[in-house]
């Protein structure tokens, strides 16, 4: 996926006491790695490698596997599939290093965005605390105290400064009041995807078969249910399919998204999972502000039909329709979502 130059530039900051893998620092960011159906705890991560711990199989030493990197957020998680090679396996201490076979693969834009946001502190919630910087004494007042001849001029300058500060304070209070009353940020991010449908698991079990190139009516994936039954899901259209959790051997739960299917010329929409507490506010909102990692901002309207969808444990999956068409290279980018409520004036 192509992203613009601003997003592809890795944020440069001073990171003290961080282990380094080549030129890439390993960050203590929370994540979990799934290898051959077994989960390992992530210790450190960079764009090219990761350190993991857990009960290690000796057969993994030097092995190359398709791994699922899961990043837990509040109320949802982000999963990336990365082809990695297990190195420096220390079975006694349950520690191993994973090197990415293709660091510039399809996972790179999303992984770079997560790491950059973590470094910049954008993923750290500060709650509802608002800090106000202390006011700075006016240099004109200090000069007036030192020079009596400039007393009148200093008073004029001080009055003007006080008026400007008062106006600035009124503007700041007005902005804070507006944001407090008429805006509501969503904790879950949005994801730009091509408009289509999502095929979900009909039962919990293990994925036995996946065919992303299946034609309409052919089997797209098969699940070996915990009851022993083989449940097959047919492709509903002649369209492009993208795997979400549909990986052979993966364990899934009922209702978990498996495939995203869409036609080649489908427009870009914003997909998001809204917490149950915010669904009513979203239903009566004026619009949703969508801000991408490169700083670009658009408005979007919620698809009322998606508000009647079946909620999951993480929240209600909704579809946001941009007010202006998005370019194809915007697909796959995360965005910050803010509900803009209707005003009474």
Q: What angle do CA 4, 336, 110 make, to 5 degrees?
A: 50
100: CATH = 2.40.10.220
241: CATH = 2.40.50.100
Q: Print pLDDT tens along the chain (345 aa).
A: 443 433 333 333 433 444 445 556 788 888 999 998 899 999 899 999 999 999 888 888 889 999 999 988 777 788 999 999 998 888 888 899 999 999 998 989 999 988 888 787 776 533 332 233 344 444 444 454 456 556 667 677 777 888 888 888 887 777 676 666 778 888 888 888 888 888 888 899 999 999 988 999 999 999 999 888 999 999 988 888 888 777 898 898 887 888 888 887 888 899 888 888 888 888 888 999 999 988 899 999 998 888 887 787 778 888 899 999 998 888 888 999 999 888 765
The values of phi and psi at residue 27, to 5°, are -100, 145
- Same-domain pairing of 211 and 292: no
- Same-domain pairing of 293 and 204: no
Element (H, E) at 328: none
User: Collapsing DSSP states into helix, strand and coil, what is residue 114?
Assistant: helix
- Which of 120, 150, 169 finishes a domain? 120
- Same-domain pairing of 65 and 211: no
- Same-domain pairing of 31 and 81: yes
**Per the domain annotation, does 38 fall within a domain?**
yes
189: CATH = 2.40.30.170
Answer for the pair 305, 197: CB distance below 8 angstroms, yes or no: no
What is the pLDDT, as a whole number, of residue 180?
Answer: 67
User: What is the Cα–Cα distance from 118 to 109, expressed in whole angstroms?
Assistant: 14
Residues in the chain: 345
User: What is the Cα–Cα distance from 70 to 54, expressed in whole angstroms?
Assistant: 15
- Which of 231, 262, 293 finishes a domain? 262
Q: What is the DSSP string of 271-310?
A: EEEE-HHHHHHHHTEEEEEEEETTS-EEEEEE-GGGGGSP
Structural domain harbouring 283? 184-193+267-341
Distances (CA, A) of 336 to 3, 51, 92, 291, 297: 16, 29, 43, 5, 9
pTM (global) more than 0.85:
no
- Same-domain pairing of 332 and 273: yes
User: What is the Cα–Cα distance from 317 to 60, expressed in whole angstroms?
Assistant: 37
- Same-domain pairing of 189 and 297: yes
Element (H, E) at 180: helix 151-182
**Per the domain annotation, does 209 fall within a domain?**
yes
**Per the domain annotation, does 288 fall within a domain?**
yes
Give the number of domains in the chain.
3
**Per the domain annotation, does 11 fall within a domain?**
yes
- Same-domain pairing of 188 and 307: yes
């Amino acid at each position: 996926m192509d992203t613009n130059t601003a997003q592809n530039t890795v944020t440069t900051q001073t990171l003290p006491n961080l282990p380094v893998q080549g030129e890439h620092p390993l960050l203590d960011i929370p994540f979990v790695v799934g290898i051959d159906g077994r989960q390992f705890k992530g210790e450190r991560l960079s764009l090219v490698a990761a350190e993991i711990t857990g009960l290690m199989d000796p057969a993994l030493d030097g092995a190359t596997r398709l791994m699922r990197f899961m990043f837990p957020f509040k109320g949802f998680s982000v999963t990336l599939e990365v082809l990695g090679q297990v190195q420096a396996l220390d079975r006694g201490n349950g520690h191993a290093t994973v090197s990415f076979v293709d660091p510039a693969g399809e996972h790179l834009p999303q992984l770079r965005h997560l790491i950059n946001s973590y470094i910049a502190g954008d993923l750290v919630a500060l709650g509802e605390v608002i800090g106000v910087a202390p006011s700075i004494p006016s240099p004109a007042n200090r000069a007036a105290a030192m020079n009596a001849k400039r007393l009148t001029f200093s008073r004029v300058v001080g009055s003007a400064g006080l008026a400007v500060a008062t106006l600035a304070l009124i503007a700041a209070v007005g902005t804070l009041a507006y944001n407090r009353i008429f805006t509501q940020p969503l904790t879950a991010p949005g994801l730009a995807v091509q408009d289509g449908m999502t095929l979900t698991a009909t039962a919990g079990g293990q994925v036995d078969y996946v065919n992303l190139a299946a034609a309409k009516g052919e089997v797209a994936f098969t699940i070996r249910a915990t009851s022993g039954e083989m449940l097959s899901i047919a492709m509903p259209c002649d369209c492009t399919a993208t795997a979400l959790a549909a990986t052979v051997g993966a364990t899934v739960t009922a209702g978990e998204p498996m495939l995203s299917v869409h036609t080649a010329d489908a427009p870009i929409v914003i997909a998001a999972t809204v917490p149950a507490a915010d669904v009513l506010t979203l239903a009566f909102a004026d619009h949703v502000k969508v801000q991408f990692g490169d700083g670009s901002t658009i408005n979007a309207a919620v698809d009322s039909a998606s508000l009647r969808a079946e909620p999951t444990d993480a929240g209600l999956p909704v579809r946001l329709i941009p007010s202006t068409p998005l370019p194809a290279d915007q697909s796959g980018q995360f965005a910050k979502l803010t509900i803009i409520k209707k005003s009474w004036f």
